[in-house]
Amino acid sequence: MATAPLLAPASLRADFPGLAGNWAYLDTAATAQKPQAVIDAVVRAMGTDYATVHRGVYARSAEMTRAYEAARQSVARFMGAASPEEVVFVRGATEGINLVAQSWGDRLQPGDRILLSELEHHSNIVPWQLLAERRGLVLDVAPLTEDGRIDEDAAIALIGPQTRLVALAHVSNVLGSVLDVKRLADAAHAEGALLLVDGCQAAPHMAIDMAALDCDFYVWSGHKLYGPTGIGVLWARGSILASMPPWQGGGAMIETVSFERTTYAPPPQRFEAGTPHITGAIGLAAAIDYVESVGLSAIRGHEATLLRAAREALGRINSVRLFGPENSAGILSFAVDGVHPHDVGTILDEAGVAIRAGHHCAQPLMAQLGVPATARASFGLYNDMQDVERLADGIARVTRIFGVK
């Protein structure tokens, strides 16, 4: 029997206007609902507090600049970064990875190698494929263990003298499996390679500390941490950022411009061309405040309890196949024999249960699992045991409708 959740979701749910009504929202891995505190912060930033940043000499612009840079400081503290100057605001993890590929990646030479894994999101595959085509690189792919983890031993064995970058997910968006980042960082560094970590599914579920993880790049998206869309983070070591050329040109990323020569601002401004997503950054800081007020350790324990209960409930249905390790980080992918995941999702939706159905932007992983798609339930701090029961009841209804047991 699963233990009771550590949080009190009933009181937390009241903070999320998007959860009004009898709705079991189990798609937080795709995007998290927003607490009222985040909505209020964005509304103030767009309304009574609004002005541009880094440009105006009037008082409100100065105040908005302070708020924007305070958001960067909040992110740096949240991540255990050595300095706010190591934090680059981007649209999301996808843009962060593309920034690294197009800026840092320009130094790579034909025959250099990049190591990925079979469970990566398309955003951590396609940018490296594009770079490999441009620069004549070789992509290596680490296999998975039987329970759906990156095979760390096999991955380490693939890191060699020509490996320049290892790019792996901290937590799989399909299987919820968790990578030992420090172990892979040590292995990469031993061969002179760098480690980039896709932290989209880790940041909302566990504490992340750049000093402890010892990676070189870390990316994540604000909307998965109960923040706004269109804002995300690329963290990189200061010495690495300082060595990287701009990847976009325009205002704010320059020191001086003439038709003869342009000089560029130091990081992070060098990588933030144009007017930034001011309100998004401020909303992200509010989301961090909210998550920290609840407590990441409490959130992880709560979600782990719900996950155990969901695995137990669905595991009792013979026609349901569960994917991923038992101790995944808040994510449960599954398939019902003879039923397409889209049909599963549609029937659950009729009962007010929202899940994701599809390939989850991880088609190579689907091929490895031997399925075209999966259904995925993912938990957040606002979910409770009633959501788990409604999921199980909905799957039981699916089996009755399709005549499977």
DSSP string, 335-394: EETTB-HHHHHHHHHHTTEE-EEE-TT-HHHHHHHT-S-EEEEE--TT--HHHHHHHHHH
Choose among 342, 332, 335, 336: nearest CA to 312: 332
For 194-277, where are the alpha helices, taking DSSP H only? 210-213, 238-243
- Quick check: 290 and 310 in contact, CB under 8 A? no
Identity of residue 4? A
Q: What is the rounded CA–CA span in Å between residue 167 and residue 279?
A: 30
Which token pair is 310? Answer: 């969901």
Whether 215 sits among the annotated catalytic residues: the reply is no
Q: What is the rounded CA–CA span in Å between residue 351 and residue 301?
A: 27
The residue whose two tokens read 């008082």 is: 59
Identity of residue 332? L
CA terminus-to-terminus distance, the chain: 23
Q: What is the rounded CA–CA span in Å between residue 283 and residue 71?
A: 8
Tell me 150's DSSP state: B
Cis peptide before 268 (omega within 30 of 0): yes
DSSP string, 58-81: SHHHHHHHHHHHHHHHHHHHHHT-
Q: What is the rounded CA–CA span in Å between residue 391 and residue 405?
A: 16
DSSP β-bridge partners for residue 163: 113
> Active-site residue among 296, 361, 385, 396?
361
Choose among 236, 232, 239, 115: nearest CA to 184: 115
| Strand ranges in 75-128 using DSSP code E only, listed in sequence order | 87-90, 113-117
Q: What is the rounded CA–CA span in Å between residue 166 and residue 139?
A: 10
Identity of residue 338? G
Residues annotated as catalytic (active site), given as ranges = 361
